[in-house]
Amino acid sequence: MGGRRAKREVSAGGVVVRHGTDGFRYLLIRDGHRNWGFPKGHLDGGESPEEAARREIAEETGLQELDMHESLGEIDWYFRHRGRLIHKFCHFFLVSSERGEPTPQAAEGISACVWLPFSEAESRLTHDNARRMLLAAHALIEAGVLDGRESA
């Protein structure tokens, strides 16, 4: 890409799920660019991806009671910020939250938080790479990864 190397950035986030009477619901947020996706953000200092995911979910949704489960892998993409090419890598985790209502944190640029069933979440997500994380989370749930794992 023009001989200039992209700046590498690392983020982490989570596909947050909640089990209700009608099955699992997935938490989507609408960010400052009006994209629908999952809570995520940069690693701070010496944070691990798991620590950053927990912090970012809490910061963007207000949810505090979060149970971290399996890694869903990572996605990456390129974008330009202030004329600089960025190569972003984002680690995702399956996270459950059985209590508390999410509140969009305007200070974080979040304008909406919604719980949706799988099919609605899949169609609402803006980006295909986020859709891949949703599919990975859904496959783990269908395989029983969350069976018997309740919040303490």
* Model confidence pLDDT, tens digit, residues 64-88: 999 999 999 999 999 999 999 999 9
35 touches 113 (CB < 8 A): no
The pLDDT score that the predictor gives to residue 1 is 47
Q: How far apart are CA 22 and CA 14, in angstroms?
A: 22
Q: Which two tokens stand for residue 3?
A: 């001989």
CATH of domain 7-142: 3.90.79.10
In this predicted model, what pLDDT tens digit does every residue of 136-149 receive, in sequence order? 999 999 999 998 65
In this predicted model, what pLDDT tens digit does every residue of 34-51 receive, in sequence order? 999 999 999 998 999 999
* Residue ranges per structural domain of the chain: 7-142
Q: How far apart are CA 23 and CA 17, in angstroms?
A: 10
Among residues 46, 11, 24, the alpha carbon closest in space to that of 95 is found at 24
The mean of the pLDDT values for the chain is: 93
Q: How far apart are CA 32 and CA 11, in angstroms?
A: 17
Q: Is the pTM of this model over 0.75?
A: yes
